[in-house]
Structure 1
Amino acid sequence: MSIVSELKESVSQIISYIGGADNIESASHCVTRLRLVLKDKDQADVKSIENLDIVKGTFFASGQFQVIIGPGLVEKVYGEFIKQTGIKESSMAEVKENARAKESVIQKAVRTLADIFIPILPAIVASGLLMGFNNLLANPGLFYEKSVIEVHTGIAGIAQIINLVANAAFTFLPTLIGWSAVKKFGGNPVLGIVLGLILVHPALMSAYDYAADPSKVKHWDVLGFKIEQIGYQGQVLPVLVAAYLLAQIEIFLKKRIPDAIQLIIVSPIALLLTAFLTFTIIGPITMTGANWITDGVVYLFDVAPVFAGAFYAFISPLLVITGMHHLFLGVNLQMAGSLGYVTLWPIGDTVTLAQGTAALTMFFILRNKKMKNVAFTSSFSAWLGITEPAIYGVNLRYRYPFIAVMLASAIGSGFLAYFDVKATSIGVGGLFSFLSVFPEYWGVYFTGNIMTIILTALITFLFSKSKRFKNEDLEA
């Protein structure tokens, strides 16, 4: 049978095993996966689908049935899938919209946060990496007794430019969040940018200066009320709430004001009302709440660092498969913006390496050639920060590698938390995550990650020999 014929046959089987074309509500694909919204997910014969040669694994997430195919091949499979089913091609946004109709309130809330934070992650990750590079140049004792820029004074200007670029995303973090949030909430994203700029306007007292000495803050006198002139640098929650309010006011006004005068009426009123309500009510309340969350995380890691680190890493794999891990994006961004460092991200990144290690260990344990290939390729993608193939294709499928990840990463993260490891911000996950960690913690960070890797491989191997896990699973 030719390659083309095999592809057609495999796609035909996928369609049959998911309940036929009549059970498909919409279909799209990403870099590695078919993303399907099914009318009745119970009709899907998951085991038969996963036994197909072109399929590396499946999972249900966010209302979608996702079939892991692999880069390149997934486009050919999707094309044949559309041809055989006769359904209309859908964009990723359309598939997500269909899937969200089936989500619970909590799932929708988490997904909303993800849709706001994920678009700005490239800027945040880039800033974190550049901050790490700047630390290499500015910190003494790494390469010389003095810092690199003190020894090689000619590159001091380069270091200053790097530092400027690295800090820009966090200096104007409310602007990034304002753009993404207002866009998500259905408003004009340009107004979201303006809102963010208003909240970090240089005429306002910086949030950092206010935290150091609140007595120096100036006030606006509005009808006898004193309103503090405070900026919201590094803040997340106040901007999210303000962005939602801005979008709702804009939508409300557009429905009631004639098109001919919307340009000169809607934006000024929406911005002015939002700014006024933010500085008087929303800002003070949400800023206090955001600081409580940050202080609570810091306090927990101060009082019981080992427990906090271990517990966070232990539940992180479960959070990932439910999508709840997106909640901590906001916490990490809040910490980076207000404290200048993050603790949750570097401590929890042991899970990324553990997922890759568990998958690679399964490569040596498994006897099925197809699954050995899936385990081998997915382990390397996990070590580069993309864990989904390893999680859904191997570790979660055989259960005990996933449990090994939870146990080993909990031990490794507890170790890192004990030594109070910090990173400049969220960075690239996996083998290169150390680039965002402050250099003074590198020794401990490498030790904790190596410990995690060894323990993951050992626990996975020991579990594979346990009678609790059936040996026939290795042939699946």
Structure 2
Amino acid sequence: MDHKKIAEDLIPLLGGEDNIISGSHCATRLRLVIDDESKIDKGAVEELEGVKGAFSSSGQFQIIFGTGTVNKVFSHFAPLAGLGSGEKEDSGTHKEAANKKMNPIARFARTLSNIFVPIIPAIVASGMLMGLLGLMSTYNWVDEDTALFIMLDMFSSAAFIILPILIGFSAAKEFGATPYLGAVIGGIMTHPELLNPWGLSDAQPETMDFFGLGVEMLGYQGTVIPVLLAIYVMAKIEKVLRRIVPNVVDLLLTPFLTVILTGFFTLLFIGPLGRILGDAITGALGFLYETAGPVAGLIFGGLYSTIVLTGVHHSFHAIEAELLTQIGGNYLLPIWAMANVAQGGATLAVFFKTKNKKTKEVAVPAAVSAFLGVTEPAIFGVNLKHRRPFIGAAIGGALGGAYVVFTQVMANGIGLTGLPMFAIAQDPINYGIGFIVALIGAIIATLLLGWDDEPNK
């Protein structure tokens, strides 16, 4: 593969160098902010060697090359497009340029994603430890009074107990505030003086009088929404102080006043309000889950991939984390997993039946990627491109979603779907059955619906 030639051919198909505002790449995709996307020859882009699909999402035009290829193409593409050469850096960073192209809802969802994605490894590790402890307890591998079990139990709960500190650091970074001040606010919300509600359903905290205002001495361990609101306010306070405090005393006064003001606002108003909002969200979802049951799984499993197209799914991490800490399990993630598996199933169906060499080349790695939880290559490279396979995947996702809700499958974490979710599934057997239901359902539905196959070029 001639990576330089691919980069050279790509520039005119994107409308020329002047049409490219900024660009970067992730592990699999070239991410570009384009001035006028109507100038892009999308069909020609997808026919380039090495391209597995192209789509617009989150204010960016994204081209799927795959791991190991995208970085080689970008190394030639960047200088040809004028990226990093100075003339395009005046418009701001790539992230800022992408945000300007996004609508407010997509921008909000992306912000939540940027906050929670860095935290996912910690939550996944804790979830896997919880699964291991569950096996130990169920099959009596280790006595629960032993030091080994007690220490592993400490390891598994630590991330959730200090979750406000982790979120505080990450959220402050995303909101443009000092990350360590965000961690301090998270520390205040989990201070030992406050009663730790983690695992105490009948906790009765004391109430402290603060100039006539009652302050409930209940901590925020394992909460999500209160700390998000607190750090958002903290960022606003810090930015105002940075503007009005003289530079000579900025290092001393700004952090001091930021912590004091945010701390008071948090314990008096923001924290209690955030707790009410969090309880309301989990309560509403719980009511829907318990009353609608498999119907809810059918609807959410069928619609999830369509939601992915809008980018709004990035906001689900916050809701899932709230569920995980409030009820001890995440019943949304297995539903999302069924939708992702179904995308892989529909892609496999296309691979088996299509006679187009380019489609076959893209379909297998796209399906494998979907089974590992990354669905963009399957959705945009194969299924949505041929339309009816995307509908077939929605049918498979709906069937799988209905099954995992019917059997009440939950996860011990967030972020992992497909095959990796077996590591954090509370009921791996029924999750596996749901996996098969979604996979087979999507394959059969796609083959029955059919699609217009493209001739080889």
Q: TM-score, normalised by structure 1?
A: 0.90
Aligned to 1:448: 434
Q: Is the 8 A contact 1:53 1:370 kept in 2?
A: no
Given that 1:309 and 1:348 are in contact with CA atoms closer than 8 Å, whether structure 2 keeps it comes out as: no
- Structure 1 unaligned blocks of 5 or more: 141-146
Do 1:37 and 1:98's aligned partners in 2 also have CA atoms closer than 8 Å? Answer: yes
**Deviation, structure 1 residue 236:** 1.0
Q: Which amino acid aligns with 1:34?
A: L
Deviation, structure 1 residue 35: 1.3
1:23 and 2:13 aligned = no
The one of 227, 233, 253 equivalent to 1:239 is 227
Aligned with 1:196 (options 173, 186, 195)? 186
- Report how far residue 66 of structure 1 moved: 0.9
**AA of the residue aligned to 2:261:** L
**Residue 144 of structure 1: aligned partner:** none
Deviation, structure 1 residue 117: 1.1
Residue in 2 that maps onto 1:143: none
1:135 aligned partner: 134
- The answer to whether the 8 A contact 1:366-1:474 is kept is no
Identity %: 38
Letter in 2 for 1:84: L
User: Please, which of 265, 275, 281 is the counterpart of residue 287 of structure 1?
Assistant: 275
Letter in 2 for 1:122: P
Partner of 2:69: 73
Measured after TM superposition, the shift of residue 193 of structure 1 is 0.7
**Deviation per residue, 1:275-319 (Å, 9 max, x gap):** 211121111122111101001111111111111111111111012
1:11–1:346 CA distance, 2 compared to 1 (3 A): same
1:268 positional shift = 2.3
The 8 Å contact of residues 177 and 238 in structure 2, kept in 1 or not, is answered as: yes
CA 308–252 in structure 1, closer or farther in 2 if over 3 Å, else same: same
Deviations 1:75-134 (A, max 9, x none): 22112223433443689x922211111111112111111111111111112211221122
CA contact (8 A) 1:235 1:338 kept: yes
Q: Is the 8 A contact 1:427 1:436 kept in 2?
A: no
Counterpart code for 2:395: L
Per-residue CA deviations over 1:373-409 (Å, capped at 9, x if unaligned) read: 2101111122122222112111111112211111111
Q: Could you tell me which of 162, 167, 177 is aligned with 2:167?
A: 177
Task: List per-residue Cα deviations over 1:30-56 (Å, max 9, x = no partner).
Answer: 222211111100000101111122211
Report what 1:462 is aligned to: 448
After superposition, residues 148-159 of structure 1 pair within 5 angstroms as: 148-150=141-143, 156-159=146-149
Letter in 2 for 1:426: I
User: What runs of 5+ residues in structure 2 fail to find an aligned partner?
Assistant: none
Offset of residue 74 of structure 1: 1.7
Report what 2:157 is aligned to: 167
Residue of 400, 413, 417 corresponding to 1:425: 413
1:94 and 1:109 map into 2 onto residues whose CA distance is 18
**Contact 2:190–2:219 (CA under 8 A) maintained in structure 1:** yes
Q: Name the one with the larger helix percent.
A: 1
Assess if the C-alpha contact under 8 Å between 2:358 and 2:456 holds in 1: no
Secondary structure class of the residue paired with 1:349: helix
Q: Is the 8 A contact 1:133 1:435 kept in 2?
A: no
Query: Would you say the 8 A contact 2:337–2:373 is kept in 1?
Result: no
1:231-268 deviation digits (Å, cap 9, x = unpaired): 11221111111001111111211221123322332222
> How has the CA–CA distance of structure 1 residues 71 and 422 changed in structure 2, closer, same or farther, with 3 Å as cutoff?
closer
Q: 2: distance between equivalents of 1:123 and 1:377?
A: 28
Q: CA deviation at 1:419?
A: 1.8
Answer yes or no: is the 8 Å Cα contact 1:14–1:49 preserved in 2: yes
Alignment length (residue pairs): 453
1:108 maps to 2:107: yes
Distance 2:262 2:82 in 1: 47
- Preserved contact between residue 210 and residue 230 of structure 1 (Cα < 8 Å): no
Take 1:331 and 1:8, find their aligned partners in 2: how far apart are those partners?
43
Work out the CA distance in 2 between the residues paired with 1:221 and 1:10. Answer: 68
Partner SS, residue 36 of structure 1:
strand
**Structure 2: distance between partners of 1:83 and 1:252:** 39
